Amino acid sequence: MSVSAIFILDVKGRVLIHRDYRGDVSTKFADKFMSKLNESEDSGKLSPVLHDDGVTYIYLQHSNVYLLAVTRQNVNATAVMVFLHRLVDVFKHYFEEVEEESVRDNFVTVYELMDEQTAVKPPMAVTNAVSWRSEGIRHKKNEVFLDVVESVNLLVNSNGNVVLSEVAGVLKMRTYLSGMPECKLGLNDKKAVDLEDIKFHQCVRLARFDNDRTISFIPPDGAFDLMTYRLSQNIKPLIWVECLVERPSRSRTDYVVKARSQFKERSVATNVEIILPLPSDATTPVTRCSQGSAVYAPEKSALVWQMRNFPGGKEYMLRCHFNLPSVEAEEERHSKMPPIKVKFEIPYFTVSGMQVRYLKVIEKSGYQALPWVRYITTAGNYEIRMN
């Protein structure tokens, strides 16, 4: 069956499970499928097979999920549809209801079953081959680099309430290993970190992950994302910003800005930027800050408060004032103001508490590989609306 990828989507088209078999389609095709499906619904011409720009989408809706097969090949659509129905039947043997929550709760089982159902037994001569790694790779120095990167997305409304708070995590790897190595990566206990929407690279063997958080895989050569995940429970904003706006006269505006780091004192945020929006007709602001420096960026209509280092448990303050030569209505000017944006990096730190217990490389030639592990947390879409 020449299917490029199989997706399991929720009713809004968000990817719950994704398995790439041929490497010729990406997750963006899930968005294209939903657009095409909505077009079909609007026209009243619904079909389980959709075509768009040389790509065929064959789908089955079951409860509140879509099972979607995507291919660039000329396939037997009936055979693919039978396969999707069979996949649902297999899932039912392992968890009674096939719906969004059960798919999320049993994602490791789902991945394993999808691999079993799509597996084709290879001839004996090539049983050690894997599609993502060629034979005979050689490196003078055998090294593997692992970066645990977490991006924090935050949205605070003008009343100071957190509307959105989530972490998007990725285990980014760069492997420069000779031969056909087996890598084993151990993560900290499942009870310590409750992750959501976990997705793995196709090289991962999933049998042990659900039991002891061990990821076993034969890696591609070079850079790839081993695993992605999300976290949305009990996330405290790492840097909290409050901006008090005062207007001592019709033409003058004062900002009093407080920035507070809400992570442990042993960690330090670096390359911090707090981008404060200014009215487009504001004059060059006069500033004073207790840490770092403030730079006026007229092309952005913003004041950028820059701090090279921001230790945990600290609070700093910035004051500025500027004039407004125009007489534009205050309400109209306020409605045009974009949110405050915050950028930062915190090395050696993760919000989730994700930790690598070990990273082992096993290769039949017995060479010793050097593993390097780094942790870093960065600001993603981190926005605070002004009151």
Determine the Cα–Cα distance for residues 338 and 300; give it in Å rounded to an integer.
11
Both tokens of residue 66? 């879509």
Nearest residue to 91 via CA among 69, 113, 108? 113
The residue behind tokens 């087996």 is 182
Q: Could you give the dihedral angle defined by the CA atoms of residues 206, 211, 212 and 218, in that order, rounded to the nearest 10 degrees?
A: -10
Strands 196-200 and 182-187: unpaired
In the prediction, which pLDDT does 135 show?
A: 87
Local structure of residue 188 (DSSP, 8 states): P
Identify the bridge partners of residue 225 per DSSP, sorted by sequence position: 172
In the prediction, which pLDDT does 288 show?
A: 97
Local structure of residue 298 (DSSP, 8 states): G
CA angle 89, 109, 168 (to 5 degrees): 120
Calculate the CA 87 to chain-centre distance.
27
Both tokens of residue 61? 């809706």
In the prediction, which pLDDT does 111 show?
A: 82
Same fold, 143-235+351-384 and 239-347: yes
CB under 8 Å to 102, separation ≥6 — which residues? 95, 96
Domain residue spans of the chain: 5-120, 143-235+351-384, 239-347
With beta carbons less than 8 A apart as the criterion, state whether 104 and 16 touch: yes
CATH number of 239-347: 2.60.40.1170
Nearest residue to 339 via CA among 278, 257, 288? 278
3-class SS at 280? Answer: coil
Both tokens of residue 202? 């196709």
With beta carbons less than 8 A apart as the criterion, state whether 267 and 207 touch: no
In the prediction, which pLDDT does 250 show?
A: 82
Both tokens of residue 219? 């890696």
If one counts every other C-beta atom within 10 angstroms of the C-beta of residue 71, the result is: 22
Both tokens of residue 62? 């079951």
In the prediction, which pLDDT does 212 show?
A: 72
In the prediction, which pLDDT does 123 show?
A: 39
Both tokens of residue 169? 């995590």
Per-residue pLDDT of the chain (387 residues; tens, 9 = 90+): 578 899 999 998 999 998 888 878 888 899 899 999 988 888 888 889 999 988 999 999 999 999 999 998 888 899 999 999 989 988 888 887 899 989 988 888 888 787 766 554 443 333 445 788 988 999 999 999 999 999 999 999 989 999 999 999 999 999 999 999 999 999 886 656 678 888 899 899 887 676 677 899 999 999 999 999 999 887 899 999 999 999 898 889 999 999 999 999 999 999 999 999 999 889 999 999 999 999 999 999 999 999 999 999 999 999 999 998 876 655 555 556 899 999 999 999 999 999 999 999 999 999 999 899 999 999 999 999 987
Nearest residue to 352 via CA among 166, 147, 107? 166
Strands 143-156 and 370-384: parallel
Nearest residue to 226 via CA among 190, 184, 188? 184
Local structure of residue 99 (DSSP, 8 states): S
CATH number of 143-235+351-384: 2.60.40.1170
In the prediction, which pLDDT does 117 show?
A: 60
Phi, psi torsion values for 234, nearest 5 degrees: 50, 50
In the prediction, which pLDDT does 331 show?
A: 54
| CATH match for 5-120 among 3.30.450.60, 2.70.98.20, 3.30.565.10, 3.30.300.30 | 3.30.450.60
User: For the stretch 150-163, what's the b/e string if a residue is b when 16 or more beta carbons lie within 10 angstroms of its beta carbon?
Assistant: bbbbbbbeeeeeee
Determine the Cα–Cα distance for residues 103 and 110; give it in Å rounded to an integer.
7
